[in-house]
């Protein structure tokens, strides 16, 4: 946990960097310095609203206070970032972590809207066969500050006057397998007094289906998206083996039915369309039946290929036919535009390609503890 980044005096920091501390740990920290509680909120505002990188930028602290802070700790923002720009305006940010790993974040413009797609793990706990991140395996969970730092890093680079319209926890990883860090990150993203002040209504958490944890998403106040991706138990077992062993399709749909949806909100179901695998008319008709009685919309995501992937994109015709069947049955259904494909920044294209070339261990059942349940 300790950050050994040298501080300005050239000494190793004695306290984990400020960003690693949540709200209450920041209060404890200022108390240890003998400072009043309100200093915590002042520091947090500098971190999340001022986006400072150095203690010396906290200009409403006295010189002596800054010197003391500098002596004890650092800010702890990530230092390395490479940006890959796709032709359609999508940017993929490769952010270097303290231990040398890299996390990927995607900024997706759509007209006047800007959507930020954050990662919650390096790699992924799960093994969905159509996803590049899944092929990487899990390197590690991200800490709360590493999730929020992605947003800060991107905001630093936004053009003046541009703000994020929405945030999706849909990048690398399974957010519900790292829920403690994710909920701490959501607090920092949403807090209006000292955090980034992004409304929870504008944040969506996407899960591959860790059914036992859905209600905890409701407690966070963010929107829930569930990646269904299949219309039968057998199909889901083939496409998403690990999560489907833990929570079979019926268990997942029962949990969705029991989900405490706030008034005027609805669940989102995501469905990756894999050409000639799950994009048939029969699939669409089965999907309609599966979703009966759930207040929801469906996002169809045409498969985004990556080198070595075994599936193909659906034809436009089959995607439209699929959408029409759902719409005619009264299910609001959208076909997601695939953005950023030329920089491997679209859904399911985040991950280390060289890793794909090395053989992966055979798939085996995850224990609930490994899946974070």
Annotated catalytic residue 347? yes
Nearest distance from C-beta of residue 249 to ligand SAH, angstroms: 14
Contact 188/195 with Cβ under 8 angstroms?
Answer: yes
Which 252-271 residues touch ligand SAH, going by CB under 6 A? 270
Which 280-319 residues touch ligand SAH, going by CB under 6 A? 301, 303-304
Nearest CB to ligand SAH, comparing residues 43 and 300: 300
Nearest CB to ligand SAH, comparing residues 115 and 227: 227
Cβ neighbours for 275, distance < 8 A, ≥ 6 positions apart:
303, 311, 312, 313, 314, 315, 318
**Could you give the C-alpha distances from 33 to 67, 113, 128, 355, 368, in angstroms and in order?**
12, 43, 48, 46, 41
Residue 348 within binding range of ligand SAH, rule CB under 6 A? yes
Specify the DSSP class assigned to residue 370.
T
Which 173-232 residues touch ligand SAH, going by CB under 6 A? 174, 206-208, 227, 229
Q: Which of 104, 146, 174, 270 is catalytic?
A: 104
Nearest CB to ligand SAH, comparing residues 9 and 310: 310
Determine whether 342 is exposed, middle or buried from the number of CB atoms within 10 Å of its CB (0-12, 13-18, 19+). middle
Residue 168 CA to residue 23 CA, distance in Å, equals: 23
Annotated catalytic residue 216? no
Helix residue ranges, H only, 258-345 = 281-290, 316-328
Nearest CB to ligand SAH, comparing residues 75 and 208: 208
Residue 125, classed as helix, strand or coil, is coil
Nearest distance from C-beta of residue 156 to ligand SAH, angstroms: 24
Q: Which of 124, 128, 256, 347 is catalytic?
A: 347
Nearest CB to ligand SAH, comparing residues 127 and 149: 127
Phi, psi of 95 (to 5 degrees): -110, 125
Q: Is beta strand 80-85 parallel, antiparallel or unpaired with respect to 91-96?
A: antiparallel
Could you list the active site residues?
104, 347
- Site for ligand SAH, rule CB under 6 A: 130-131, 170, 174, 206-208, 227, 229, 270, 272, 301, 303-304, 347-348
């Amino acid at each position: 946990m300790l950050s050994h980044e040298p501080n300005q005096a050239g000494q190793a920091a004695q306290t984990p960097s400020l960003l690693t501390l949540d709200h209450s740990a920041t209060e404890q920290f200022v108390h240890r310095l003998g400072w009043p509680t309100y200093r915590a909120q002042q520091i947090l505002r500098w971190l999340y609203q001022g986006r400072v990188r150095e203690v010396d930028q906290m200009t409403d602290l006295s010189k002596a206070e800054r010197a003391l802070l500098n002596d004890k700790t650092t800010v702890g923002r990530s230092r390395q970032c490479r940006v890959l720009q796709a032709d359609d305006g999508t940017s993929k940010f490769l952010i270097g972590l303290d231990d040398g790993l890299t996390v990927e974040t995607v900024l997706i413009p759509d007209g006047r809207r800007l959507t930020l797609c954050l990662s919650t793990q390096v790699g992924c706990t799960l093994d969905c066969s159509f996803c590049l991140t899944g092929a990487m395996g899990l390197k590690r969970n991200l800490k709360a500050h590493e999730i929020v730092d992605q947003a800060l890093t991107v905001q630093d680079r936004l053009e003046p006057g541009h703000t994020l319209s929405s945030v999706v926890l849909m990048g690398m990883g399974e957010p519900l397998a790292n829920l403690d860090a994710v909920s701490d990150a959501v607090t920092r993203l949403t807090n209006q007094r000292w955090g980034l002040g992004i409304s929870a209504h504008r944040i969506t958490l996407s899960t591959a289906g860790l059914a036992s944890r859905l209600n905890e998403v409701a407690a966070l106040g963010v929107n829930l998206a569930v990646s269904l991706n299949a219309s039968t138990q057998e199909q889901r077992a083939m496409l998403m083996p690990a999560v489907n062993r833990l929570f079979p399709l019926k268990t997942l749909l029962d949990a969705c039915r029991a989900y405490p949806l706030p008034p005027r909100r609805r669940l989102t179901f995501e469905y990756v369309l894999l050409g000639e695998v799950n994009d048939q008319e029969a699939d669409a008709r089965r999907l309609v039946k599966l979703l009966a009685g759930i207040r929801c919309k469906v996002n169809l995501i045409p498969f985004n290929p990556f080198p070595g992937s075994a599936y193909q994109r659906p034809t436009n015709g089959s995607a439209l036919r699929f959408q029409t069947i759902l719409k005619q049955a009264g299910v609001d259904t959208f076909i997601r535009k695939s953005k950023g494909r030329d920089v491997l920044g679209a859904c399911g294209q985040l991950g280390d390609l060289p890793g794909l070339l090395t053989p992966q261990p055979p798939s085996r059942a995850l224990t609930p503890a490994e899946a974070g349940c």
